[in-house]
């Protein structure tokens, strides 16, 4: 089965990793159960792993995990102001998988993503935004999966945001990198997700 998010449940809400650099620059990761680290220790979720990469690179940022299990882009749109309540210099939007699995139209998902970006930039016009691409399994139908896959690069292009091509690249659908539900990444899978995000994030936050 495809390694995507699905179920509702308790989540890490804006749980921040320690900031070894003692700075105020802040990265908010707005996501769902994958971001929240469903089934794992909080330190194994990819936002915490990103913090380790940032600290190792001696970059002045702290990462806030705003992942909520079961969340959709509509949910993200409703809570983006709350997620940015402490401010944000960078926003990573990692939502949309639950939309697809619930059969929400790609048009609606894209509209919500654009709305999240608009609200974020209203709060901070200088914010850097990354949008993580998602994909659906083939059994969702050829037309739907194609439209769904294309909405993320379209949203990134229209908003002049940085695209993370596919959040679960090298993880989705790989049994050994997902938990028994075949939906949520294992700790090893989360490490690969962190690498996928880091490839796009590092150039954005590096001097």
Residues forming the active site: 33, 181, 184
Q: Classify residue 155 by burial, with Cβ atoms within 10 Å: 0-12, 13-18, 19+.
A: buried
Who contacts 146 (Cβ-Cβ below 8 Å, separation ≥6)? none
CA distance 169 to 195: 10
The percent helix, strand, coil of the chain (3-state, each to 5) is 45, 15, 40
Q: What is the CA radius of gyration of the chain?
A: 15
Burial per residue of 50-86, b for 16 or more beta-carbon CB atoms within 10 angstroms, e otherwise:
bbebbbeeebebbbbbbbbbbbbbbbbbebbeebbee
């Amino acid at each position: 089965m495809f390694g995507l998010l699905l179920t509702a449940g308790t989540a890490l809400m804006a749980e921040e990793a320690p900031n070894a650099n003692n700075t105020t620059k802040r990265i908010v990761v707005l996501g769902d159960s994958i971001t929240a680290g469903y089934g794992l220790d909080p330190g194994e979720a990819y936002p915490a792993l990103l913090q380790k990469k940032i600290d190792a690179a001696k970059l002045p940022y702290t990462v806030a995990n705003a992942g909520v299990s079961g969340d959709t882009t509509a949910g993200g749109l409703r809570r983006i102001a709350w997620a940015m309540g402490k401010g944000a210099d960078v926003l990573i939007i990692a939502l949309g998988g639950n939309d697809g699995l619930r059969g929400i139209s790609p048009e609606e998902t894209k509209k919500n993503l654009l709305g999240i970006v608009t609200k974020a930039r209203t709060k901070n016009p200088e914010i850097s935004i990354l949008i993580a691409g998602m994909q659906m399994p083939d059994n969702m139908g050829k037309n739907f999966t194609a439209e769904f896959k294309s909405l993320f690069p379209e949203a990134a292009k229209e908003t002049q945001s940085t695209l993370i091509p596919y959040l679960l690249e090298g993880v989705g659908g790989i049994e050994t990198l997902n938990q028994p539900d075949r939906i949520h990444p294992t700790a090893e899978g989360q490490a690969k997700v962190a690498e996928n995000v880091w490839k796009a994030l590092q150039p954005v936050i590096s001097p």
